Structures are given as C-alpha cells and as structure tokens.
C-alpha cells in the first residue's frame, strides 16, 4: 500500500495534468463549477475574511470562484512544480486556456471582477500539506480531487478529510469534489500516483460525524477525460458544527 509520503509530489507532471484535464472546459468542470458557484454566490462580496484551497495543484478555477467572496485565499500546495506554476500564473497573468473557465465562473457569479487576473488577486500561494493547516483558521475551505487522489490508505484519506474539516472555524463552510471509485492512476505516460477508491457511502461515513448540513451530489463519468478508472465525481458541501453553547436564558 502506498501512502502519501511515498509519492514524490515535487515531480507532479504539471504540463501533462493540465493538458489532460484543464486545457479545455470539460462537462465535469461545468458541473463542479456550478456546484461550487452556488455556494459562493450566497456570500456577499468580501464576506469571507480568509478561505483555503487545500491541495490547490495547478487548477485555477476553484481559486477564481472564491475571488468575489473571499478577501484572502490561501492556495496550499506541497509540490514545488505546482507552486511554481501557480506563482507564475499570478505574477504573469493566467494562461489563455483558463478564460473559458473564468467566463463560466463569472456568468454564474456576476459579483466576480471583470478579469480573471483581478479575481485571482486575493490568492496567496502557500507551500505546505494538510498537516500544516492551523485548525479554525478559515471561513470556508475547498478541496478538489485531493484526499482520495494522494494515498492508497483509507485511514490516511480519513485523516486528510478530518484536517480539511478542522481547517474552518466552527460554523465555517466546506466545499469539495472527489473522484468516485478511482484507483491509483497515471498522468500521461508517467509513474502511478496513489489513490483510494471512495464512494457516497464512504464519504457519508467520514463526514457525517464531523459536519452538519452534509449534502453529496454526483456527476456522471466524464468520457471526454482520459480513462482514470473512476465512475464519476462526488460533490460535497457541509459546515463544521457550530459548537458555541447557547447562553442560558434568564
């Protein structure tokens, strides 16, 4: 069994990953963006002081989506290759291939600024892993294709999800996307990356005891993507329980 530390995340194949997944808008991206935009749209512009994108990778669309509601977005990512890509996108402007993603995000959330570069202005790239998250820091945390795509160990998957939930303050919001039933996978012709196949039942077992307002939706398998062995995508929204004890009435 390969655990998270057994893979060399610094060697993540950024160019191949982008070419396979994000050089054009796939039907599954539209589904994920619609799901996440519905949550951000309900937040007033600038209402969230600090939000987290856990395991950001080189994917810019979750960062764009947060751009209207969040005053500071931490893109937390362990891989040197992904951090380099993200910093270049922020410093030199996003690649043209991200424009269709931004147009869709803005059509769903008109509070987003007119340009993608502007929407990404609150983003800070932070090098680190889920272990580096200080509990209770964020108003909202988002995690896309991470906990299930970085280890073959279900206990470690659960620990990553627990760190994701703990990242937000009590009452904070959680937004996530998971590949459904995806085994360990290859990007391009490269090495095998560790994954654990998760389904709706497992997500409920992991998140029900840790969250409130849990909702899980499903997107059908996207056949325009390479064959990763998945059966679709699971979309999650929930909140961390608000543990504030109500004051006794006098």
The span from the CA of 55 to the CA of 142, in Å, is: 9
Q: Which residue has the tokens 């543990």?
A: 243
Burial class (CB in 10 A: 0-12, 13-18, 19+), 45: middle
Q: Could you say which of 85, 101, 145, 178 contacts ligand SAM (CB under 6 A)?
A: 145
Q: Could you say which of 28, 37, 56, 235 contacts ligand SAM (CB under 6 A)?
A: 56
Does residue 129 bind ligand SAM (CB under 6 A)? Answer: yes
Does residue 196 bind ligand SAM (CB under 6 A)? Answer: no
Nearer to ligand SAM, 65 or 238 (CB): 65
Site stretch for ligand SAM (CB under 6 A), options 39-47, 54-62, 202-210, 212-220? 54-62
Q: Could you say which of 18, 31, 40, 79 contacts ligand SAM (CB under 6 A)?
A: 79
Residues comprising the chain, all counted: 250
Q: How many residues bind ligand SAM (CB under 6 A)?
A: 19
Does residue 144 bind ligand SAM (CB under 6 A)? Answer: yes
Burial class (CB in 10 A: 0-12, 13-18, 19+), 120: buried
**Beta bridge mates, 127:** 77
CB 240 within 8 A of CB 172: yes
Please report, as ranges, the residues that interact with ligand SAM according to CB under 6 A.
Answer: 4, 9, 12, 54-57, 59, 77-79, 82, 129-130, 144-146, 149-150
């Amino acid at each position: 069994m390969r655990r998270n530390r057994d893979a060399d995340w610094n060697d993540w194949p950024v160019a191949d990953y982008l070419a396979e997944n994000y050089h054009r808008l796939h039907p599954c991206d539209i589904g994920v963006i619609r799901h996440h935009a519905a949550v951000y749209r309900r937040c007033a512009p600038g209402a969230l002081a600090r939000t987290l994108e856990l395991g950001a990778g080189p994917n810019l669309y979750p960062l764009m989506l947060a751009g209207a509601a969040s005053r500071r977005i931490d893109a937390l990512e362990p891989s040197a290759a992904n951090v380099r890509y993200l910093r270049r996108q922020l410093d030199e402007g996003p690649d043209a291939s991200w424009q269709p993603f931004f147009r869709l995000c803005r059509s769903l959330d008109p509070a987003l600024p007119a340009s993608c570069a502007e929407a990404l202005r609150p983003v800070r790239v932070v090098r680190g892993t889920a272990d580096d998250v200080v509990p209770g820091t964020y108003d909202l945390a988002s995690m896309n294709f991470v906990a299930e795509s970085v280890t073959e160990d279900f206990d470690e998957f659960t620990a990553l999800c627990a760190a994701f939930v703990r990242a937000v303050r009590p009452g904070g919001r959680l937004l996530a996307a998971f590949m459904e039933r995806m085994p360990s996978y290859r990007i391009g012709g490269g090495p095998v990356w560790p994954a654990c196949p998760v389904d709706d039942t497992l997500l409920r077992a992991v998140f029900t005891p840790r969250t409130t307002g849990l909702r899980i939706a499903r997107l059908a398998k996207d056949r325009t993507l390479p064959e990763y062995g998945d059966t679709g995508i699971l979309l999650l929204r929930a909140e961390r329980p608000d543990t504030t004890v109500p004051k006794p009435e006098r």
